[in-house]
Amino acid sequence: MTIEVGYWNIRGLIGGVRLMLEYAGADWNETFYEAHLKENADRKDFTNWDRSEWTNVKATAEFQDGFAFPNLPYLVDGDVRISQSTAMLKYIARKFDIGQKLSDTESWRVDQAADQIVDVRGGFVGLCYGFRTPFAQRETYCENTLKPQLKQLDRYMAGNNFVAGETLSYVDFMFWEILDHMELFDASLFDGLDNIKAFKKRFAELPKIAAYILSDKFMRGPCNNKMASWGGDKDLKRTW
Ligand SMILES: N[C@@H](CCC(=O)N[C@@H](CS)C(=O)NCC(=O)O)C(=O)O
């Protein structure tokens, strides 16, 4: 049976899910939704974006009754209907037996890192859209917040091939995905972070991942939606 996922036509929260579905060799299909700018409107004002391509679908009985928490991204696998991107990653990992044999230490390392990555990601994305940190404060945010957070993650990876240790697990997919957005944003964020750089390279060299990244199916950009201050375009042009 084909696994169906749905999301905006961007990387955002679904990039790691796409990576895992490809890694697992799953039979999967995606529905893309687009936000459209209202006529002559300021693109930076979030209320000027028409999201009805999605909200009309979200309003249907199929979504309101079929999902506990209708949202993007979502996953449908037969009778299984899941939203929340981390839950989707964990579901796919269980279904395809990815990282399911972890020791207690490996398990808490993975779960702790997953929550930390969600937090760090939230701050970075909040800068890219300017809704948590004004984009004009980019340099201060990167120096005082993001770089120290990345340094902690770099230390977490010391001596480990993957987040768990030696075993690949769901968190590696979400970790690599947001690291890739950050590298495309400003590769100098990783200066001196050799463990992060080594992890990023190691993950990208997994044969299934390498093949996917090189294929036409892989979306390099946009990382964010069109109203973002950075990452809302296909070419990921520098906006400063
Ligand atoms: N915690 C949720 C966040 C979901 C979320 O914020 N989705 C955004 C896109 S990144 C959205 O546009 N949702 C559509 C909606 O609110 O209906 C997850 O990890 O999946």
**What's the chain look like in SS3?**
CCEEEEEECCCCCCHHHHHHHHHHCCCEEEEEECCEECCCCCCCCHHHEECHHHHHHHCCHHHHHHCCCCCCCEEEECCEEEECHHHHHHHHHHHCCCCCCCCHHHHHHHHHHHHHHHHHHHHHHHHHHCCCCCHHHHHHHHHHHHHHHHHHHHHHHCCCCCCCCCCCCHHHHHHHHHHHHHHHHCHHHHCCCHHHHHHHHHHHCCHHHHHHHHCCCCCCCCCCCCCCCCCCCCCCCCCC
Residue 121 covered by a domain: yes
Structure confidence by residue, pLDDT tens digits, 121-145: 999 999 999 999 999 999 999 999 9
What is the pLDDT at residue 147? 98
Residue 212 covered by a domain: no
Structure confidence by residue, pLDDT tens digits, 76-124: 999 999 999 999 999 999 999 999 999 999 999 999 999 999 999 999 9
How much is the average pLDDT of 32-58?
A: 95
Q: How far is the CA of 9 from the centre of ligand 1 (A)?
A: 13
Residue 173 covered by a domain: yes
How much is the average pLDDT of 51-64?
A: 98
Range of the domain at 121: 104-206
Nearest CA to ligand 1 atom 12: 72
| Mutational pocket test of ligand 1: of 13, 54, 81, the residue with most ligand atoms within 8 Å of the beta carbon | 13
Residue 82 covered by a domain: no
How many structural domains comprise the chain? Answer: 1
For position 172, which CATH number holds?
Answer: 1.20.1050.10
What is the pLDDT at residue 233? 97
Residue 181 covered by a domain: yes
| Mutational pocket test of ligand 1: of 67, 71, 83, the residue with most ligand atoms within 8 Å of the beta carbon | 71
Residues with CB under 6 A from ligand 1: 12-13, 58, 71-73, 84-86
Residue 117 covered by a domain: yes
Percent of the chain with pLDDT over 70: 100
What is the pLDDT at residue 138? 98
What is the pLDDT at residue 78? 98
Per-residue pLDDT band for 44 (boundaries 50, 70, 90) equals confident
Q: How far is the CA of 179 from the centre of ligand 1 (A)?
A: 19
